[in-house]
Amino acid sequence: MKNVSVLGGYKIVEIKQITSQEKGRLQFFEGENDIPFAIKRIYYITDVKKGVWRGAHSHKNLKQLLFCPFGEILIKLTDGIVSNSILLNEPNKGVLILKPLWRDILWNQDNSVLCVAASDYYDQSDYIRDFEDFTKFQRENKY
């Protein structure tokens, strides 16, 4: 019997950092070393007002590391049954998404920045943009 009370397929990670008292902090990660994939693509979302939701899709195969170098962003993940919300409110906090999960993303502060390191190039066919298609995909793939 599947344990439906736990959402799998993602990890909250602490990104390595070097803090200097007067000059801020530097965060860093290496593809295949610090995260379980090579970095093929970077994207980042800027100029978003507080209260805006984005996301509303899943991927079939893409793995991603999401992080927020400025501001505060809420990442809501679900497999169609269980939902978890993760607050990205520190630049060294990241969410590794390793399995198909539907994500809704809320901007908690004007101009918060969402950065994403992705495991593959852009591929339109890897996206699921309809929630019912997503739950169907989950059932068929037994996630």
| Minimum distance of its own copies from residue 139's CB (angstroms) | 30
List the x/- string, 60-79, binding to its own copies by CB under 8 A: ---------xxx--------
Q: Which residues pair with 100 in a beta bridge?
A: none
Using rule CB under 8 A, residue 127 touches its own copies:
no
59 included as an active-site residue: no
107 CB-side CA count, 13 A: 19
DSSP, collapsed to helix, strand or coil, labels residue 126 as helix
| Minimum distance of its own copies from residue 92's CB (angstroms) | 8
State how far Cα 108 lies from the chain centre: 16
Q: Candidates 72-80, 81-89, 107-115, 125-133 — which segment interacts with its own copies by CB under 8 A?
A: 107-115
For residues 91 and 24, the answer to whether their CB atoms sit within 8 Å is: no
**Active site (catalytic) residues:** 57
